[in-house]
């Protein structure tokens, strides 16, 4: 029910992913009448439907984007967000995907699922497009104020995710800083750097700067939630600005049909490569269950990507694998 477009995006995306993934089943949580109406509309357009793999859980309430997380947690237990995460906690589904209020999703996730022992706080992680492919960045906003041990835990969790789910055997991990020199940065990154260096089996390259992320020099970038969220929104706005500037310039050039036919496929490929929606689906690492946050402005294709991300994380039982790695390090520097 959440996000900028609600069922008009989430339902067509759900039906498309069911078509693409024969082994997948979905539980749609929200206003049943709206869900069923949108299923009928989507079926009429696509002609595909798999009712045997769809369940609907009706909820009368919706958490609005401006609702405070504390209020949503206390007063909206019949909301789609609360009930969806509750299904994860009850073991009735393997993952939750939401495009709604991030703060509420975080608060309800921590309340119902909790973190594993040895993990102080969950972190939001997602991929950024780079010249070499992608880089997983965390935290993207779950913890505006962090402690050094949080960042060391983030490194361990992201390492496990990148290795297990995405097949990177020894992911390069960098700690985001204002410079690469040993004396640069605040007390947080200085202390976190020492902790991460003491963890076995991490391919830690030390301090990195933001440009190293986009140049593809690391596979994982660790930072606090304030820095990560600012960087995420900057990246999204720059990508949109570049796209608009290119479009404006092309209109000014008044290209011939022949030139336009040559340039259009090239621009389409570039737009695809820098489109943040291609990596939509941020995971709350550290919770005792899989919770994926879709961008509120996600279109159908981007929401499909979030559903595929949730399916992959659930298939590998990522929360349990992270818990096992944290247990191996229990009592150490993290």
Statement: residue 191 has pLDDT above 60? yes
Q: What is the mean pLDDT of the chain?
A: 90
Supply the pLDDT for residue 201. Answer: 87
| Angle, CA 180 vertex, CA 179 and CA 183 arms, to 5° | 80
How would you classify the pairing of strands 133-138 and 220-222? Answer: parallel
Supply the pLDDT for residue 329. Answer: 75
More confident residue, 46 or 68: 68
Report the distance separating Cα 14 and Cα 290, nearest Å: 17
Q: pLDDT tier at 255 (50, 70, 90 boundaries)? A: low
- Give residues with Cβ within 8 angstroms of 332, minimum separation 6: 198, 199
Report the distance separating Cα 292 and Cα 302, nearest Å: 13
Domains 7-120+279-319 and 125-229 share a fold: no
Supply the pLDDT for residue 260. Answer: 67
Q: Mean pLDDT across the stretch 242-270?
A: 74
The CATH fold assigned to 125-229 is Rossmann fold (3.40.50)
Q: Mean pLDDT across the stretch 96-114?
A: 94
Supply the pLDDT for residue 289. Answer: 96
Q: Mean pLDDT across the stretch 211-227?
A: 96
Statement: residue 117 has pLDDT above 70? yes
Supply the pLDDT for residue 61. Answer: 93
Domain spans of the chain, in order of start: 7-120+279-319, 125-229, 234-272
Q: Tell me the whole-structure pTM to 2 decimals.
A: 0.88
Q: Specify the CATH superfamily of domain 7-120+279-319.
A: Isopropylmalate Dehydrogenase (3.40.718.10)
Statement: residue 331 has pLDDT above 60? no
Read out DSSP for 50-101? -GGGEEEEE-SB---TTS-HHHHHHH-TTBHHHHHHHHHHTTSSSEEEE-S-
Supply the pLDDT for residue 178. Answer: 94
Residues in the chain: 334
């Amino acid at each position: 029910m959440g996000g900028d477009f609600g069922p008009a995006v989430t339902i067509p995306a759900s039906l498309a992913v069911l078509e693409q993934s024969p082994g997948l089943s979905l539980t749609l949580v929200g206003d049943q009448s709206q869900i069923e109406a949108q299923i009928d509309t989507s079926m009429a357009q696509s002609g595909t439907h798999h009712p045997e793999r769809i369940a609907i859980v009706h909820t009368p309430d919706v958490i609005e984007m401006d609702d405070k997380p504390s209020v949503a947690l206390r007063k909206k237990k019949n909301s789609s967000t609360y009930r969806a995460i509750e299904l994860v906690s009850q073991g009735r589904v393997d993952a939750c995907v939401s495009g709604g209020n991030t703060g509420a999703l975080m608060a309800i996730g921590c309340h119902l699922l909790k973190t594993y022992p040895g993990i102080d706080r969950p972190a939001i992680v997602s991929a950024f497009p780079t010249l070499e492919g992608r880089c997983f960045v965390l935290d993207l906003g779950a913890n505006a104020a962090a402690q050094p041990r949080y960042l060391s835990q983030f490194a361990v969790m992201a390492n496990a995710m990148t290795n297990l789910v995405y097949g990177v055997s020894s992911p390069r991990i960098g700690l985001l800083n204002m410079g690469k020199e040993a004396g640069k940065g605040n007390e947080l990154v200085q202390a976190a750097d020492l902790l991460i260096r003491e963890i076995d089996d991490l391919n830690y390259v030390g301090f990195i700067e933001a440009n190293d992320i986009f140049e593809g020099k690391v596979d994982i970038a660790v930072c606090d939630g304030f820095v990560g969220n600012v960087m995420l929104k900057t990246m999204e706005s720059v990508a949109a600005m570049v796209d608009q500037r290119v479009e404006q310039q092309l209109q000014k050039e008044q290209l011939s049909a022949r030139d336009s036919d040559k340039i259009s496929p090239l621009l389409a490929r570039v737009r695809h490569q820098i489109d943040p929606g291609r990596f939509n689906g941020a995971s709350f690492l550290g919770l005792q269950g899989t919770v994926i946050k879709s961008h509120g402005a996600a279109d159908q294709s981007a929401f499909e990507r979030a559903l595929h991300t949730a399916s992959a994380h659930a298939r590998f039982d990522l929360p349990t694998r992270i818990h096992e790695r944290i247990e191996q390090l229990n009592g150490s520097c993290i």
